Structure 1
Amino acid sequence: MKRTWRRLILAGLVAVLVLFLGFVPSDRLAMPVKGASSADWNPKSFWCSPWGKSGVHRGIDIFAQEGTPVMAASPGIVVYAGYDTIGGNVVSILGPKWRIHYYAHLKEIAVKNGDFLHRGVEVGTVGCTGNAAGKPPHLHYAIVTQIPHVRQWRGGKYGFDRMFYLDPGAELTKHAMGGDTSKWKD
């Protein structure tokens, strides 16, 4: 237990030093599911409502065969690797620009709290845990920003929440080589 806390404290100190020294790793994203392309998710699924207990779908579901490697889309520090009832096996990585990259429904988790990861490192495998049980295997991928994007505010239900979520499909497509999402930058 003491080792885990030490690792988390060390990872936090490294993150703070990196930010104060002005070095911010590239915010380019890599495809989080090995071998996937934009054909493997529905671009209209982000912020689709109504969506189960959460009311709105705050990410995208990238479909793949169970056991397909899930890679870190961004460099960062693992702030949570564990289980919750909705996401099942989940990993949350704090990356550049204080964005949390959330990977859910994993069959297996390959990282632990406090790990510093480079883009492209395996974080787990595609599965159907949590509320995805009985559904086709997929990765639920979401990007949460700690700094609100005020221009994304909308009136009505969930309008305030929308400022804290980025469309992962649009972010991934923006970082694809020449708009061709079958070949991803590392």
Structure 2
Amino acid sequence: MKLFKQFILGAAVILALGFLIPERFVNPVKNATIQSYNQQSFWAYPWGSSITHKGVDIFSKEGTDVLSSTGGLVLYTGEIKKGGNIILILGPKWRLHYYAHLKEIKTSTLAWANRKEIIGTVGTTGNAKGKAPHLHYSIESIIPLPWRKDDSIQGWKKMFYLNPIDYLNTAQH
């Protein structure tokens, strides 16, 4: 029983620390401006085979540097069907930062990414092939936010996603 209590206490401390780490945010596409993305694109419906757009597309010239928007642990780098070349970073407040359609990946799984560190470049991989180069960027909470649920198709999923546009509009440059 003592070991179980120590485990619970340790887990609680780790969880609390994740929320206490400041989440300083920068725009993940170098030199992107508010004109580089559509203010209404988060949770847009219908959105192709994804049904609902759970992020934002930040348009830029192919090969433009993609920066880590916050510090965090790189959980995954690789290729998936829709996202193409992707990076998934666990950042402060137990949030997953998803970077997709990258031309190049310039980090590795289990590396630490510092805020503003170059982690990749803008591209057209995955289902962005044949479209204008852009970074698809989303922020997902590991801990559900039930007050964010809505009544749209896939609305229950909204409690896991934060609107990245709110962060981009106030991002440090």
Pick the TM interval, shorter chain: 0.7 to 0.9
Question: Equivalent of 1:107, from 59, 80, 103?
Answer: 103
Question: Equivalent of 2:26, from 25, 30, 35?
Answer: 30
Paired position in structure 1 for 2:4:
none
CA distance in 1, matches of 2:15, 2:140: 22
* Residue 90 (structure 1) shift: 0.1
Paired position in structure 2 for 1:147:
143
CA distance in 2, matches of 1:68, 1:75: 20
**Do 1:82 and 1:91's aligned partners in 2 also have CA atoms closer than 8 Å?**
yes
Unmatched 5+ residue regions in structure 2? Answer: 1-10
Paired position in structure 2 for 1:44:
40
* Residue 65 (structure 1) shift: 0.2
CA distance in 2, matches of 1:126, 1:82: 15
The answer to whether residue 98 in structure 2 is matched with residue 74 in structure 1 is no
CA distance in 1, matches of 2:87, 2:17: 27
CA distance in 2, matches of 1:21, 1:160: 25
CA distance in 2, matches of 1:59, 1:109: 19
The TM-score with structure 1 as length reference comes to 0.82
Quote the sequence identity (%). Answer: 45
* Residue 20 (structure 1) shift: 6.4
The answer to whether residue 14 in structure 2 is matched with residue 19 in structure 1 is yes
Paired position in structure 1 for 2:6:
none
Query: What letter is aligned with 2:14?
Result: L
**Do 1:25 and 1:75's aligned partners in 2 also have CA atoms closer than 8 Å?**
no
Question: Equivalent of 2:86, from 73, 84, 90?
Answer: 90
SS of the aligned residue for 1:124 comes to strand
CA distance in 2, matches of 1:22, 1:84: 31
CA distance in 1, matches of 2:82, 2:17: 37
CA distance in 2, matches of 1:135, 1:97: 33
* Residue 82 (structure 1) shift: 0.3
CA distance in 2, matches of 1:28, 1:87: 25
SS of the aligned residue for 1:139 comes to strand
Paired position in structure 1 for 2:51:
55
Query: What letter is aligned with 1:44?
Result: Q
